[in-house]
Amino acid sequence: MSATAKKQAPNAEDIRARKGGTPLVSLTAYTTPMARLMDKHCDFVLVGDSVGMVLHGLTSTLGVTMEMMILHGQAVARGLSQAMLVIDMPFGSYEEGPQQAFRNAARLMAETGCAAVKLEGGVEMAETIRFLVKRGIPVMAHIGLTPQSINTLGGYKVQGRDAQADAVLADARAVAGAGAFSVVLEKVPQKLADKITAEVAIPTIGIGASAGCDGQILVVDDMLGFFTAFKPKFVKRYADLGPLAEAGIAEYAADVRARAFPGAEHVFADQAPAAKTPSKG
């Protein structure tokens, strides 16, 4: 292969094959410009239903719709050529049963071109995962803290401590056995995350889990400091762009009010500038 050959985006089986290898890198994206920035650095990019809280000001992910996921999925797809695109199934689009899940997952894939969908739930979603996979829809599972279930979980709490550990482990085994090509572990104790990673044959993707997972994912607006309403314990801020952006906006506002912007270099003369005469060689 030529050293300059264009990298091809991985598919679900490529991700599955990375089990135990170089850790998988992932971030969320919701817009074309952000997708372009992360394309060459990520193995897969997730259009998460976190878009509801990050970009739309919702207090949870429960108000996110299929139309929102499709709109943002299409935007992110335009910015990717090297990373795999995965899109969240929103709340209410798959829980009713396998047939409902298939209709909505098929629509999501057809209208965005994504390579896989992600859905939340363990043992109770195994039948649906199996149904989708058998019909050609790759599924990334999501267990531990499942944000769409915060009303039954009692909030954004760590899942899998003490007596809960066996249930989370059972969830991991169930989704792997049903055919999911990978599984996100969210807010799971480190020891349990390591145990799951060692036991299941598919890659584990940690978010507030363990460095021993087969990969990691973060919400990009969290790790870049754009989302400042709160910072989860598991987030490392690799940049603090929110305050920088606000400072830039404040400077712009001050310049406008002082009539310092636009300056002479930003406005146009009545006459077009004369064309330059080519110099003789």
Q: Residues at the annotated binding site for 3-methyl-2-oxobutanoate?
A: 49-50, 88, 118
121 token code pair: 């739930």
Distances (CA, A) of 195 to 31, 95, 144, 203: 35, 28, 13, 13
194 token code pair: 């390591």
For strands 204-207 and 182-186, give the pairing. parallel
Q: Which residue shows structure tokens 């003789």? A: 280
Q: Any idea what the Cα angle at residue 61 is, between residues 138 and 38, rounded to 5°? A: 60
Angstrom distance (rounded) from CA 147 to CA 232:
13
Distances (CA, A) of 177 to 29, 69, 275: 29, 27, 70
**Annotated binding-site ranges for Mg(2+):** 49, 88, 120
**Annotated binding-site ranges:** 49-50, 88, 118, 120
Catalytic residues: 186
213 token code pair: 């997972």
Q: Return phi, psi of residue 95, to 5°.
A: -70, -25
CA 196 to chain centre: 22
Q: Would you call 247 exposed, middle or buried from its count of C-beta atoms within 10 A (0-12, 13-18, 19+)?
A: exposed
